[in-house]
Amino acid sequence: MAQHQHEFETPDRMEYTFLPVTAGSILFKVQAANDAHIALTPGPNDTEPQYEIFIGGWGNAKSAIRKNKQKPDAAIVDTPGILSAAEPRGFWMRWNHGELSVGKEGVAEPFLYWKDPEPFGIGHYGICTGWGATGTWYIEDGDRSKRVDTEDKLEYNWHHVQQGCLNVEVCCPHNAHLALTCGPCDSDPMYEVLLGGWENMASVIRYRREKPDKVRVNTPAILSQGEYRRFCVAWKNGRVWVADATGRTLMEWEDPNPFGISHFGARTAWGSSGKWRVCAAERPEYSAEPSAPPAQLAAGALPGWAVDGGNKGGCATWVDCTHGVVPPNAVQAGFDGEQLYVGRARHAGDIIPGKVVPSHQVCYIPWGGAEQAKTEYQVLCNCDPVWMPATEGRVPTGALPAGETEGVEPLFIGRATHNGVMCVGKVQETHGVCYVPYGGKEMAFKEYEVLCAQ
């Protein structure tokens, strides 16, 4: 299973190429003589607020972190010879609530670190080279493919996931454990899928570490120390499926009180170490489908939802969800400590666009001067969005209709930056503004971006 990578060439010019982020980290390799620069920003442009990370600056002698292009640098360290024009050098970068860490590939400790006392949400990163250097970059798409090694230790390795399905390959003698959570930690609530437990004789689905197990099946010799065994784990609205390499359903269980899943964890234990290959999948590869196969998850509007324009702009669809669940191919809209998605929900007779926050298990919509939280909502999926600038209620050609008021005025998807966070809400032409939900309030902006579907 090959890892998915983006490859870029950057000229000797101090202009960033911007890309969206899907998690709080990136892995990359860069081949350049000096001055490999990375910017972290709320939106896809070179504007404030922003962090800049300079690797191999000052003639390939130093590396630094800078905020809003201001000096002195927030952090600077000596890194002689850190880059090479002859070969790619690997690095990792992580950020979480203002904590920035940069390290070398294969080295756990960062060589560059800074904590911002006034952090902002990060939705994009930019790359460039300059000061006499051109560069070739290889950037791994962290949400598509992951390699994980697990020790014989009851500790999960946590990773972000935005899809509703994981294809898993694992090589270990027994006790391969997967956890599904709403955050990158051993939290409550949590689903656990335990494969090959009890000396490789049984597998279970467990909730909140509670016994009895929700599902238990006999699976003798399901794992192997000598070869990778493949499985598919999928979830939607509290229903969890586990299938083997043939697509045969091994286990499934439905949680009556589902929660949003944004991370998965992998571990091995009880005398077992393992090697994993995990890939977020758009569709389960079932040949024998479970009773409610993920490959046939309902897409489109449910009865009572307005769908005018819902399928314009290619194959864009609205998928019904609850409690923070985000389906495959959901449209990303911003970042506020975690990835945010485009959603919509009913309120007071209106259908209103807003933002889905998986860890909060709701879709927030702006209405009546307040931020309204909805546990039942729809998520926009399967479209390639373009965000076009607009002002004072105007809507560009190609804007995707996403809702309507009780008086049948159409509403469109808009977003604006507030306190360094890209917020998603509704554009209402007759009001001349874009309304976004933030901090319990409905905020109005005369300058904003509108989602247009290709």
The pLDDT value given to residue 21: 64
63 has pLDDT over 90:
yes
Which one is predicted more confidently, 65 or 10? 65
Mean pLDDT of 264-289: 69
Query: pLDDT by residue (tens digit) across 184-199?
Result: 777 788 999 999 999 9
pTM of the predicted model, to two decimals? 0.40
Quick check: do 5-140 and 146-280 share a fold? yes
Q: pLDDT band at residue 75, thresholds of 50, 70 and 90? A: very high
Q: Are 82 and 60 in contact (CB under 8 A)?
A: yes
Mean pLDDT of 209-231: 92
- Rounded CA-CA distance 380/37 in Å is 33
CATH-assigned architecture of domain 5-140: Sandwich (2.60)
The pLDDT value given to residue 292: 33
Mean pLDDT of 438-442: 90
CATH-assigned architecture of domain 146-280: Sandwich (2.60)
Output the average pLDDT for the chain: 81
315 has pLDDT over 60:
no
The pLDDT value given to residue 25: 77
Query: pLDDT by residue (tens digit) across 354-372?
Result: 999 888 888 999 998 899 9
Spell 104-126 as b/e; 16+ CB within 10 A means b: beeeeebbbbbebeebbbbbbbb
290 has pLDDT over 50:
no
Mean pLDDT of 206-233: 92
Q: pLDDT band at residue 391, thresholds of 50, 70 and 90? A: very high
Query: pLDDT by residue (tens digit) across 127-163?
Result: 888 888 888 888 764 444 444 555 666 677 777 665 6
List the domain boundaries for the chain.
Answer: 5-140, 146-280, 317-452
Mean pLDDT of 226-235: 90
- Rounded CA-CA distance 115/414 in Å is 31
Mean pLDDT lowest among 137-151, 336-350, 382-396, 397-411: 137-151
The pLDDT value given to residue 421: 85
Q: pLDDT band at residue 344, thresholds of 50, 70 and 90? A: very high
The pLDDT value given to residue 3: 37
The pLDDT value given to residue 23: 59
Q: pLDDT band at residue 11, thresholds of 50, 70 and 90? A: low
Q: Are 431 and 350 in contact (CB under 8 A)?
A: no
The pLDDT value given to residue 286: 34
323 has pLDDT over 90:
no
Mean pLDDT of 421-440: 91
The pLDDT value given to residue 454: 58
CB count within 10 Å of CB 221 equals 10
